[in-house]
Structure 1
Amino acid sequence: MQIVSAYVYGGRLLSVDEIKGNWLTHINYAFAVIRDGEIVHLFNQENLNVLKKVKRLYPHIKLIISVGGWGADGFSDAAFTESGRMKFAKTVAHFIKENDFDGVDLDWEYPSSDMAGIKARKEDKENFTLILREIRKALKELELEKQRPLLLTIAAGAEPWYLDGVDLKDIEPILDYMNLMTYDFYNGWSKKTGHHTNLFTPAHRPEDNSIDKAVKLFTDQGFPKHKLAIGAGFYGRGLRSVKATGNDILYADGSENFDVGYSTLVKDYIHKNGFKRYWDDSAKAPYLYDGDVFITYDDEESIFLKGQYVAKEQLGG
């Protein structure tokens, strides 16, 4: 079975009706955080009850608690000592048991790196492996009690620098699968237009990243394809004050970044208010432009092609 997973953000009160469980195999509930070395859920507690109801409606779904996210601190400290790793793993297992989840996803952005403004140490590389081992140990003990397997996954950066901060060969046997963050290739602070979640590297920009390039990066290092799940962006990355024409829209200069959710894209941007949809066939990626504002995003066509790619390459999802 291939993974069809969705990150469900808990920053507002969720409802059962909005979660299309028949379309999914896994739900990553995002995000819990780390406080004093323990996993903590800071959102509305009712969301946990909503997810339990979703699980009853769709018993095939695996509920996974995602810990961390961009700018979420606490990982380096929790992983730094043996006692800290044991403490954290124990609280992860407790959360899974108390809330009837099926696993945990560590979204440490990123081991050995302070680019997100979090604490980082050179020891993170080794300690990341050690804390994953401790979590796996705690999950195995809980599996005996619950009589069912529990999942341990991570979200991983899709660029070569990510591999400098982790021991990929050491962590691979510990993980059930890895969520490759194959989005934000052109991120929220770039002052040039470009694709943020393109399937292939653009023919005219061979130095650019892509999903295909990221998959090859990890598989060339020995990571098995069936344990890789690629990502799609249900949001767009925008840039204002872009002055370009014809084939020069991509990689043109702009001055103000913004994000926009897909529902808003459909409502206000795609084929609306002067925006024209363009298609980069080499990258298999759409973009919008109205003469001033540029938006890179995923739509039905690009996501369909990603699904075909997953099947063809026999990826995890």
Structure 2
Amino acid sequence: MKASSIKNLLPAFIAALFSCIPGLLKAQQKAKPEKLIVAYVTSWSAVVPDPAYVTHINYAFGHVNDAFDGIRIDNPQRLKNLARLKSKKDGLKVLISIGGWGSGRFSEMAATESTRNKFAEDCLRVLKEFNLDGIDIDWEYPTSNAAKISSSADDTKNYTLLMNTIRTKIGTAKLLTLASVADAKYIDFRAIEPIVDFVNIMTYDIARPPSHHAGLYRSGYTSGVTADEAVTAHVGAGMPVNKLVLGIPFYGHGVKGIPDFIDYRDIVKLKGFKKQWDEKAMVPFLVNSEGEYVCTYEDERSIAIKCKYMLNRGMLGAMYWEYSGDTDEGHLRKAVFSGINNR
């Protein structure tokens, strides 16, 4: 080709190249991984979650059955109803969470290859029967009997074996997730990292008044770990930050006339208390007329800050316990949605 011909074609080539750039940028935006919003929805509540504000619903709870070889589901009809929400939102995932505080028989089930296999086979059955997208294991906690459940020194090792068995049985197309205590104890995260999709860190219930139960950073009202320290602990234990989901409570803890467990919907109705803000921990709290710290909780402001923290740290998303603790208007779930999506 003559030099003059190349010169004539050059402007057209440049124009074509620039015309592709918007499409390439759009493709890059589409390829950007979606941030998750995981809502725990309980069997004992009646509220139907709005799928517009969540990406994943974790149904609480299923349990290890009395024979240690399968799953017992609380209120199975409600689980079926929740699975139908997938028809209202493309991409919505519904999982069953197995366990919860005080839910036992994990230690016995995980202790033998036979019962692990049978349990994993039942996980697959439940996924098919209820049209679910995954299994969330909420064993609180391997090697611990703090919740008055059976435990063994071999639980951590057996937990790893159990998760491997479940993954083998359900395949890679289904999700396998877990709930983890804030300080990252009890589980061998390096061993399970290759086989789990993500970890929901329970960055709440860390303390009671006069301390924060879900403070983001350390302050004079910190007793135990902070949410920031919890994330760091999980990374140090071997779980990549982009597989971590930050837990947010839709409830608080109270003393001196306020219930130990109190939903946010009821906190906002309290009278005779003054709201305070901890500039270091980045969370609110209530004091009574004597100035005593009497309630620890989250609000829209603290949630917005937590979501920004999550995005800046490169985490996968946010999780909250639990959906029905919010107001009817959805102040907290909307705050999570807006914070995660930078709105």
Provide the TM-score with structure 1 as the length reference: 0.84
What residue in structure 2 maps to residue 11 of structure 1?
A: 44
Q: Over alpha carbons, which structure has the higher Rg? A: 2
Whole-Å separation in 2 of the counterparts to 1:94 and 1:59: 23
> What is the CA distance between 1:105 and its match in structure 2?
0.4
Find the residue that maps to 1:230 and give its secondary structure: strand
What residue in structure 1 maps to residue 274 of structure 2?
A: 276
* 8 Å contact kept, 2:242–2:316: yes
What residue in structure 2 maps to residue 154 of structure 1?
A: 178
What residue in structure 2 maps to residue 173 of structure 1?
A: 194
* 8 Å contact kept, 1:6–1:27: yes
Q: Deviations over 1:22-41 (max 9, x none)?
A: 11110000011111221111
Q: Number of residue pairs matched? A: 280
> What is the CA distance between 1:206 and its match in structure 2?
6.8
Aligned-partner residue type, residue 55 of structure 2: T
Find the residue that maps to 2:260 and give its secondary structure: strand
Q: Deviations over 1:214-238 (max 9, x none)?
A: 1111112332001000101100100
Whole-Å separation in 1 of the counterparts to 2:198 and 2:130: 22
Aligned-partner residue type, residue 176 of structure 2: L
Whole-Å separation in 2 of the counterparts to 1:99 and 1:206: 42
The answer to whether structure 1 residue 87 and structure 2 residue 104 are counterparts is: no
> What is the CA distance between 1:304 and its match in structure 2?
0.6
Whole-Å separation in 1 of the counterparts to 2:275 and 2:243: 34
Find the residue that maps to 2:61 and give its secondary structure: strand
- Whose relative contact order is higher, 1 or 2, with alpha carbons under 8 Å and at least 6 apart? 2
Whole-Å separation in 2 of the counterparts to 1:310 and 1:133: 28
Aligned-partner residue type, residue 100 of structure 2: G
Find the residue that maps to 1:258 and give its secondary structure: coil
* 8 Å contact kept, 2:59–2:79: no
Note closer, same or farther for the CA distance 1:287–1:29 as it changes in structure 2 (3 Å cut): same
Find the residue that maps to 1:64 and give its secondary structure: strand
Alignment of 1:39-58 (within 5 A): 39-43=71-75, 45-58=76-89
Q: Which of 206, 211, 227 is the equivalent residue of 1:211?
A: 227
What residue in structure 2 maps to residue 224 of structure 1?
A: 240
Whole-Å separation in 2 of the counterparts to 1:154 and 1:72: 15
Whole-Å separation in 1 of the counterparts to 2:180 and 2:89: 28
What residue in structure 2 maps to residue 61 of structure 1?
A: 92
Whole-Å separation in 2 of the counterparts to 1:208 and 1:73: 25
Whole-Å separation in 1 of the counterparts to 2:222 and 2:38: 30
The alignment's C-alpha RMSD in Å is 1.7
Whole-Å separation in 1 of the counterparts to 2:238 and 2:207: 27
Whole-Å separation in 2 of the counterparts to 1:88 and 1:108: 14
Find the residue that maps to 2:261 and give its secondary structure: strand
Whole-Å separation in 2 of the counterparts to 1:61 and 1:206: 36
Q: Deviations over 1:152-207 (max 9, x none)?
A: 00100112xx52x32221011111000001001115xxxx51100111111x3676
Unaligned runs of 5+ residues in structure 1 are 144-148, 242-255
Percentage identity across aligned positions?
36
What residue in structure 2 maps to residue 23 of structure 1?
A: 53
The answer to whether structure 1 residue 125 and structure 2 residue 142 are counterparts is: no
Unaligned runs of 5+ residues in structure 2 are 1-33, 318-343
Note closer, same or farther for the CA distance 1:221–1:63 as it changes in structure 2 (3 Å cut): same
What residue in structure 1 maps to residue 295 of structure 2?
A: 295
Find the residue that maps to 1:183 and give its secondary structure: coil
Q: Deviations over 1:54-109 (max 9, x none)?
A: 11111321101000000000100110000010010001110011000000000000
* 8 Å contact kept, 2:215–2:222: no
Whole-Å separation in 2 of the counterparts to 1:31 and 1:101: 14
